[in-house]
Amino acid sequence: MSDPSIAKKQILLVDDHPVMRFGLAQLIRFENDMAVVAEAGTAREAVQIVVDQHPDLVVVDISLPDKSGIELIKDLRALNSDVKMLVVSMHDEEVYTERALRAGARGYVMKEEAADKLIEAIRVVLSGGVFVSEKMSRRIVELFSGLGTAAAADDPMERLTDRELEVFELLGAGLGSKEIADRIQCSPRTVDAHRAHIREKLCLRDSKELMLHAVRWAESRA
């Protein structure tokens, strides 16, 4: 039973899958010092809740229907520099952890590990720390020490900006330029510019090769 005298940390869950939000909320509800005060299925809803309720922590997924979680993290950081953010996602931590941290998140947990790691991660982030897996911790230390710089430079995906990676993923999911434009709230011309930049950075010859590469990359991470 929770102690009413304890001031609970307020947590916002942002995920477009209600079942996932329910599962995360169930893990949190047994903790005496934290509570889920709101849930959001879109980035737009999340921004409004942060403005209205000022939660202590936002737990956010990478894939949202109206904007990527990385872009949402940037928006929330600009809106409220005090709000702490933790990513809980099915997306490959090797691709997204560093991007999430650069955007302003303070931790990254794979959904498959959420049952075991979520509460620990929340406590670390709320206390001002950074939570990542042991594997990613070693990689980040190597990067900061200079030992991993060459390896990172050899990965062509590291050349893509966060927005270009988002467009690349959506291409891999089978979306066309107009669908992507509607999804990330920009013009089809802007999407076409992103596609051109992606082709150049990945040394791909044409749109057909770009699509094939995007689909194969998406399938390799399914």
Q: State which residues of the chain have pLDDT below 50.
A: 1, 149-151
Instruction: Spell out the domain ranges in the chain.
Output: 9-143, 155-220
pLDDT in the model for residue 35: 97
- Whole-structure pTM value: 0.83
pLDDT in the model for residue 144: 62
Report which of 128, 119, 129, 73 is spatially closest to residue 96, judged by C-alpha positions. 73
Cβ neighbours of residue 181 closer than 8 Å, sequence gap 6 or more = 187, 188, 190, 191
In the CATH hierarchy, which fold is given to the domain comprising 9-143? Rossmann fold (3.40.50)
In the CATH hierarchy, which fold is given to the domain comprising 155-220? Arc Repressor Mutant, subunit A (1.10.10)
| Cα torsion angle, 117, 123, 125, 129, sign | negative
pLDDT in the model for residue 150: 44
